[in-house]
Amino acid sequence: MGRTILIVYSTTDGQTRRICERLQRVAQEQGHRATLADLEAEPVPDPDSYGKIVIGARIRHGRHSPRVAEFVNRYRTVLESKPSGFFSVNIVARKPEKGRPETNPYVRKFLRQVSWRPTETAVFAGKLDYPKYDFWDRAIIRFIMWLTRGPTDPGTVVEFTDWQQVDAFGLAISRMQ
């Protein structure tokens, strides 16, 4: 039997959770037991009782949820003592030049902010779902998309997530030692 993996995440519209569910399935196919935990809901299981820890964080209006940094800061010693992974989900990653951890501004900023070095790091493009957003979110996201030359039609629903990339990260976290 493989090691146990705790996958904690922050999501707003559900795409980060879907990615975590896919990572969980890949890990289980590799013989691991993987538990999902939503950082926005309390309580989160004690990460010290798991062999590996993975953190998934969504971006909304240019920011990760504060709960992600709080979790990292609270459990830094545990995270540094075990194999760990981090991934960010953001629409900016739809662009090839921003789709790698070393080139994605959100991943770079977050890792500088918390000064934690995960064993594995990834960034995934998220999902754009204008009809699902409230008026203000839709307006802000449309403006950001206009600035970055993305889709602005308010009826647009586009999943930018590369599921093969998610599977590859799932294999990488399964192999972490």
Task: Answer whether CATH 3.40.50.360 is correct for domain 4-126+161-175.
Answer: yes
Mean pLDDT of 98-115: 94
Q: pLDDT tens digits for 63-91?
A: 899 999 999 999 999 999 999 999 999 99
Domain with CATH 3.40.50.360 in the chain: 4-126+161-175
CA distances, 166 to each of 35, 42, 64, 122, 128 (Å): 17, 26, 19, 9, 17
pTM, to two decimals: 0.94
Mean pLDDT of 51-60: 96
User: Is the model's pLDDT at 1 over the cut of 80?
Assistant: no
pLDDT at 61: 83
